[in-house]
């Protein structure tokens, strides 16, 4: 084993050699969901029949609703994803930018959602069958209430309310942490980070200085199923992760191997470069450790299995392009971006953008303890109310008046105007974060200490949106990164 430590400024690098998994392959196809079918407090898995606790960005079937089943999704007239035979629903909490005056603004997405369907047999289990999701199957990945990284030690903060603990939670918790990623994108630098390398949301200063092409939120779903339940009470106990996230033997009792799903959502953070404020997910999470995503299967019966079994679709050397798979009926972008769901009546008057508090009156909870369970008493005082402050130290990037969800405007993906930003006297925070870079058989652990400094924003910082459009009916943004297609030379994961 090679051990090497290099110190350069505030960056410490530790390198070690690790064994490759001989014969690993990456058969997959990229499911492109450039369109967003809706935005709102809708989550038919966790809160069926009523408004959910926080706001989600939703992709997929037009018939998505507060309560929905497989047949209802399948009857949708359209989907905001690119395969006609897939009427599934995919969603995750939206990222907001909290301005210095307290105003909360949705961070636009670049390219919508990309869903990877991995279809290769694990190198150590080449005879394992990959089974398509059955009709009615649904699951949740991630943990909405987490606000810290699990370190495997006895002093780790445990989930609240011990009556909810299960042996499954304990065994899977450490693996689950590695299923989250927040990738700092900078294409002109000649390289990018590996997927799932950083498991928490980076500080705004690091994003401003380095992430010229935005931040990509990533999450891998469990792919081992108990072969029996289409759902469970906590929407996770019927599935489990293999020990290498998507490779390795499935845990006992979860012997049916599903195609691993991997969500990528790029948020166009350059829109807020130089502005005073912070990024917070709609569930009140500024850490990223509570990032999560949901999936309800809506594939026409037999289609996904046919794609999995077709070597033209899933060859280890395949490009991942959907067009290479003859089983899939691909739609043009015009159909994708024009597919919109009906916002439930109970939510039609709820504003989701340029708001004083998060939709659902969600408080900001920084941890490290678990966030309070909705409907349970708060056990700690670490909740920060999201109220607009009296000082007008910053403004949203648009001057549009607040309006109901069907008329809410959102700025296009375009650079803001130049800004006068100056450091002020005050404390700075030294915060460490770690990521791993894999190059061949060498893995490099990089520990970075980032300094967060308070800044004063001058009046020239406030930019105006180049255009606005009704949010529920808008097509993709028309700015300089309009629906950027992924041109990956290799798979991210």
Check pLDDT > 80 for residue 443. no
Check pLDDT > 60 for residue 16. no
Check pLDDT > 70 for residue 453. no
Check pLDDT > 60 for residue 10. no
Query: How far is it, in rounded angstroms, from Cα 222 to Cα 141?
Result: 7
pLDDT value, residue 85: 97
Among 172-186, 250-264, 370-384, 464-478, the minimum mean pLDDT is found in: 464-478
Domain ranges of the chain: 4-473
Quick one: pLDDT band at residue 151, thresholds 50, 70, 90? low
pLDDT value, residue 149: 80
Query: How far is it, in rounded angstroms, from Cα 356 to Cα 96?
Result: 12
pLDDT value, residue 492: 40
Mean pLDDT of 359-363: 94
Among 78-82, 93-97, 147-151, the minimum mean pLDDT is found in: 147-151
Mean pLDDT of 229-251: 91
DSSP string, 45-110: TTSTTS--SS-EEEEEBTT--SS--HHHHHT-S-BSSSBTTB--EEEEEPEEEEETTS-EEEPPEE
pLDDT value, residue 449: 35
Mean pLDDT of 429-458: 35
pLDDT value, residue 168: 54
Of 141, 80, 68, 70, which is closest to residue 109 (Cα–Cα)? 80
Check pLDDT > 50 for residue 37. yes
**Number of neighbouring beta carbons within 10 Å of residue 155:** 6
Mean pLDDT of 125-153: 86
pLDDT value, residue 461: 23
Q: Which DSSP symbol is given to 145?
A: T
333 versus 218: which is more confidently predicted?
Answer: 218
pLDDT value, residue 420: 28
Quick one: pLDDT band at residue 166, thresholds 50, 70, 90? low
Of 154, 131, 349, which is closest to residue 223 (Cα–Cα)? 131
Quick one: pLDDT band at residue 491, thresholds 50, 70, 90? very low
407 versus 337: which is more confidently predicted?
Answer: 337
User: Do the beta carbons of residue 101 and residue 475 sit within 8 Å?
Assistant: no
pLDDT value, residue 301: 95
- The model's pTM: 0.72
| Tens of pLDDT, residues 402-438 | 232 232 323 323 322 222 222 223 333 333 333 333 3
Quick one: pLDDT band at residue 1, thresholds 50, 70, 90? very low
Of 319, 268, 259, which is closest to residue 112 (Cα–Cα)? 268
Across 123-127, 402-406, 424-428, 479-483, which has the greatest mean pLDDT?
123-127
333 versus 40: which is more confidently predicted?
Answer: 40
Q: Tell me which H or E stretch contains 311.
A: helix 311-314
Check pLDDT > 60 for residue 401. no
Query: Strand order in 104-106's β-sheet?
Result: 104-106, 95-99, 277-281
Mean pLDDT of 286-312: 94
Check pLDDT > 50 for residue 444. no
């Amino acid at each position: 084993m090679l051990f090497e430590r290099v110190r350069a400024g505030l960056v410490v690098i530790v390198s070690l050699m690790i064994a490759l998994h001989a014969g690993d392959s990456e058969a997959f196809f990229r499911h492109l969901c450039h369109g967003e079918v809706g935005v709102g407090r809708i989550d038919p898995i966790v809160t069926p029949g009523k408004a959910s606790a926080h706001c989600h960005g939703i992709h997929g079937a037009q018939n998505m609703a507060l309560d929905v089943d497989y047949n209802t999704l399948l009857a949708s007239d359209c989907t905001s994803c690119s395969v006609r035979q897939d009427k599934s629903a995919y969603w995750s909490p939206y990222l907001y930018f909290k301005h210095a005056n307290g105003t909360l603004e949705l961070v636009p997405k670049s390219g919508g959602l990309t869903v990877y369907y991995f279809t290769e047999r694990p190198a150590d289990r080449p005879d394992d069958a990959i089974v398509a999701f059955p009709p009615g199957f649904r699951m949740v990945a991630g943990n909405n209430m987490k606000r810290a990284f699990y370190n495997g030690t006895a002093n780790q903060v445990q989930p609240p309310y011990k009556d909810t603990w299960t042996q499954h939670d304990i065994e899977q918790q450490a693996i689950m942490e590695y299923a989250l990623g927040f990738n700092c994108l900078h294409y002109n630098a000649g390289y990018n980070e590996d997927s799932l390398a950083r498991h928490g949301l980076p500080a705004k200063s690091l994003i401003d200085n380095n992430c010229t092409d935005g931040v990509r939120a990533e999450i891998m779903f469990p792919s081992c199923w108990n072969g029996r339940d289409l759902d469970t009470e906590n929407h996770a106990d019927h599935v489990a992760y293999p020990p290498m996230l998507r490779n390795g033997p499935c845990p006992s009792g979860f012997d049916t191997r599903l195609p691993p799903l991997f969500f990528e959502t790029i948020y166009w953070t350059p829109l807020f470069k130089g502005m005073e404020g912070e990024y917070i997910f709609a569930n009140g999470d500024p850490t990223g450790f509570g990032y999560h995503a949901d999936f309800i299967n809506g594939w026409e019966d037999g289609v996904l299995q046919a794609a999995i079994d077709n070597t033209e679709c899933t060859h280890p050397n395949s490009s991942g392009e959907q067009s290479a798979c003859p089983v899939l009926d691909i739609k043009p972008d015009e159909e994708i971006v024009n597919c919109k769901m009906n916002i439930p009546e109970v939510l039609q008057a709820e504003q989701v953008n340029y708001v004083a508090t998060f939709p659902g009156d969600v408080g900001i909870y920084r941890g490290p303890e678990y966030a309070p369970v909705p409907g349970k008493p708060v056990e700690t005082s670490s909740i920060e109310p999201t109220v607009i402050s009296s000082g007008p130290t910053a403004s949203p990037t648009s001057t549009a008046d607040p309006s109901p969800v069907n008329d809410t405007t959102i700025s296009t993906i375009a650079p803001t105007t130049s800004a006068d930003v100056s450091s002020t006297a005050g404390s700075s925070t030294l915060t460490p974060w770690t990521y791993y870079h894999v190059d061949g058989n060498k893995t490099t652990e990089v520990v970075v200490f980032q300094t967060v400094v308070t800044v004063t924003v001058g009046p020239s910082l406030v930019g105006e949106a180049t255009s606005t459009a009704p949010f529920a009916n808008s097509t993709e943004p028309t700015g300089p990164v309009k629906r950027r297609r992924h041109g990956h030379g290799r798979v991210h994961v």
